[in-house]
Amino acid sequence: MRRLGVIVSSLLALVIGAALVAPLDPAGAGTLPTAPRFTQITARDGVVLRANVVEPATAGPKPGVVFVNSWGFNDAEYLAQANALAARGYVVLSYTTRGFGLSGGTVQVAGPQDIADVSDAMDWMIANTSVDPARIGVAGVSYGAGIGLIAAGHDPRIRAVLALSGWTDLVESLYGGQTRRLQAVGFLGGIAELGGRPSPELRQMLADYFANRNIAGVKAWGRVRGASTYLGAINRNRPAIFLANAYGDSIFGPNQLVDFYGRLTGPKRLELAPGDHAVAELTGLAGLPNHVWTDAGRWLDRYVAGTANGIDRENPVVLRSRTSAAVEGYRDWAAVGRRSTRYALAPAALPLGTGTLGTGRPRNAAGPAITTGVDTTADAGVLMLSNGLEALDGVPPLVSLRTVSRLHAGVWTSARFPAGAAVRGIAHLRLRARQQPAGTVVAYLYDVDALGTGRLVTHAPMTWTGAGREVSLDVALPATSYDVPAGHRLALVVDTVDPLYADAGRLGAPLTFAGPSWLDLPVR
């Protein structure tokens, strides 16, 4: 835990140091902003929130942005972006959420008090700066993104939201595929203890989560803290919402953003890129050129400042490839995967062999039988690190397919793709299995080269409890944009243990994959 605190502190120091010396945005107006003015905001319940303000050194009412800090960080996090925006004519207020840094109160995890604080920050901004009350946006990374989205359903003054690496459904983040994310939640809980003051309620929820008890109570707590709960109010208020996330986000996966985006009725944009949680926008926090912050700034210019810059006429769904520098725009999510190919899971000819992914009709035939509760060499990598490094070096988690134990995993491979395959969107696995009434499976989709080395394309867990002897599982794999090279194959590996997740299986229990089972693969 000490090492984690050092890492978080070092990252914060990097961001603050770079922000203080960051040059003006060359695309901006070049207006010299004032030096940051550090201040405080008294919330309606008396809690004092620490904040800073950066303003243009010009007269007259101006568009404004309220920045909400990331989990474990403080209001200095956004100084580089605040300077750049102030140089373009914005008043920028950044504040530290309650329970973190020098702000008072306790960590509420986007609870009602946190949402009221956004409105109180806007009230303070209107009363104490030259901001135009009719032109205010709210922005944040991670924790700030989730809070900003919820606030947009409570305060109609919010004209736009930048939600970068945020969540829309906290229950999905906690229990996606009915599977607990022990590493991710433990990581966030550790940061809260190191750099904040968790509320008694938060500590109780975490204790219940790790003990796997009071599940209904934890889910009810989570529903209050997700923007999807307030979708109707958000659509009535019609803020312009900019969503950005990473394909490999191991804390807030991209599929919940895709679903939320599809149900928004106001101006909207969705951008997905390689990497893990908050990696894609990290360099922008340090004042370096960054594609996420460039488009986010254009979004604010259009919907807060009122500049007709054309971003509203572009294709609003933007996918950055994991395998090249390609950037693709789509009119909506339905256009991402133009067609879907169904691959039937056929059993191997020999016991403990490799089955096939074929395009024939799925058969009602028994597949391999494995033993649960033992991990294999197939895994999703290290939380934050593996997918984060992929954004830098292009190398996802790897596995030699030959080393995956067929005693503890089912393995199916496709024929070679002579011309390659452009995988775009969300793949769906329909899997039938016979086992005990409870269990967990983790499905991994790999791109396999001629040497048998697999590069992880996408993966997802699924847990069931209280079922009969046979279950039918529908697994939605996280969205991706991945080009399978010519001559490579795809491989599906299904085992029962991954260090990222809690599993419900019993050590040594038999699990037989049955039919008909198939993989629906979206391709362009």
Question: CB-based contacts of 65: which residues, under 8 Å, 6+ apart?
Answer: 82, 85, 90, 91, 92, 93, 136, 137, 138, 139, 300, 304
Q: State the pLDDT at residue 505.
A: 84
The answer to whether the beta carbons of residues 81 and 55 sit under 8 Å apart is no
Residue-level pLDDT at 18: 39
Give the pLDDT confidence of 228-249 residue by residue, as tens digits. 999 999 999 999 999 999 999 9
For residues 235 and 69, what is the distance between their CA atoms, to the nearest angstrom? 25
Asked if 467 and 454 count as a contact pair (C-beta separation under 8 A), the reply is: no
**pLDDT for the residue numbered 435:** 73
Q: Are 208 and 214 in contact (CB under 8 A)?
A: yes
Query: Stretch 254-267: mean pLDDT, rounded?
Result: 98
Distance of CA 87 to the CA centre of its chain: 30
> Where are the extended beta strands (E) located within 248-373?
268-273, 317-320, 327-330, 339-346, 355-358, 369-371
Report pTM.
0.93
Q: Where are the domains of the chain?
A: 2-334, 339-523
Residue 194 vs residues 77, 100, 183, 384: alpha-carbon distances, Å: 17, 10, 16, 18
Q: What fold characterizes domain 339-523?
A: Jelly Rolls (2.60.120)
Taking the C-alpha atoms of 141, 145, 151 and 156 in order, what is their torsion angle to the nearest 10 degrees? 90
pLDDT category of residue 506 using cuts at 50, 70 and 90: confident
SS3 call for 159: strand
Please give the Cα distance from 118 to 249 (Å, whole number). 26
Instruction: Identify which of 249, 286, 266, 259 has the alpha carbon closest to the alpha carbon of residue 142.
Output: 249
Residues 188-205: what's their mean pLDDT?
97
Report whether pLDDT(14) > 50: no
pLDDT at 24 (0 to 100): 33
If one compares 315 and 3, the residue with the highest pLDDT of the two is 315
Q: What is the pLDDT of residues 333-360, one digit of tens each?
A: 999 988 999 999 999 888 889 999 999 8
pLDDT at 31: 64
The whole-number pLDDT of residue 5 equals: 37
Tokens of 75: 């209001």
Q: Which residues pair with 459 in a beta bridge?
A: 444
Q: In the predicted model, what is the mean pLDDT of residues 329-336?
A: 97
Q: Are 182 and 262 in contact (CB under 8 A)?
A: no
pLDDT of the residue at 30: 54
Report the DSSP pairing between strands 339-346 and 510-523: antiparallel
Identify the CA nearest to 179 among candidates 508, 516, 498. Answer: 498
Tell me what the pLDDT averaged over the chain comes to: 92
pLDDT band of residue 34 (cuts 50, 70, 90) is confident
| pLDDT tens, position by position, 266-325 | 999 999 999 999 999 999 999 999 999 999 999 999 999 999 999 999 999 999 999 999
Which tens digits make up the pLDDT trace of 453-467?
A: 999 999 999 999 886
The CATH topology of domain 2-334 is Rossmann fold (3.40.50)
Condensed to tens digits (0 to 9), the pLDDT of residues 59-69 reads 999 999 999 99
Cα(256)–Cα(168) distance, integer angstroms: 6
Classify residue 276 as left (phi > 0), alpha (psi -120 to 50) or beta: beta
* Residue 295 near residue 271, CB atoms below 8 Å: yes
